Amino acid sequence: QVQLVESGGGLVQAGGSLRLSCAASGRTFSSYAMGWFRQDPGKEREFVAAISLSGGSTYYADSVKGRFTISRDNAKNTVYLQMNSLKPEDTAVYYCAAAAGIATMTAQDEYDYWGQGTQVTVSS
């Protein structure tokens, strides 16, 4: 099993930046594609970004493309989400997720493990 712990969330002003980290436990981390989702409280989770097992392919939601960058360091068992030019609309709880099998990489049903989430709040 893979256990995921997110960190790096916080309160920032519009236009600011944050870097989220997701630390994974388990010796099979490199066997999983990784993704970031976000969720408005009480609502469905939405796809933000994903990265392939080796980091060779990345995917982004249109709403964050050009502003967010996903990366991974398999040696450190860590995936990152660099968020720049943040907008109030980016306010959400951000979740790290791991997928053993990949289809589109954008659907939450494709992911097998989830972290506890970290709050990102962007003020106007």
**pLDDT by residue (tens digit) across 3-17?**
999 999 999 999 999
- Residue 59 pLDDT class (50, 70, 90 cuts): very high
Output the pLDDT for position 100. 87
Per-residue pLDDT band at 54 (split at 50, 70, 90): confident
pLDDT at residue 27, rounded to an integer: 66
* Average pLDDT of every residue of the chain: 93
d(CA 109, CA 21): 22
Q: Which of 43, 46, 39, 51 is nearest to 98 (CA)?
A: 51
The percent of residues in the chain predicted with pLDDT above 90, rounded, is 76
Please choose, from the candidates 104, 73, 90, the residue with its C-alpha nearest in 3D space to the C-alpha of residue 39: 90
- Name 96's Cβ contacts closer than 8 Å, sequence gap at least 6: 4, 6, 20, 22, 34, 35, 36, 79, 114, 115
Calculate mean pLDDT across residues 46-71.
94
pLDDT tens-digit readout, 76-122: 999 999 999 999 999 999 999 999 877 788 899 999 999 999 999 99
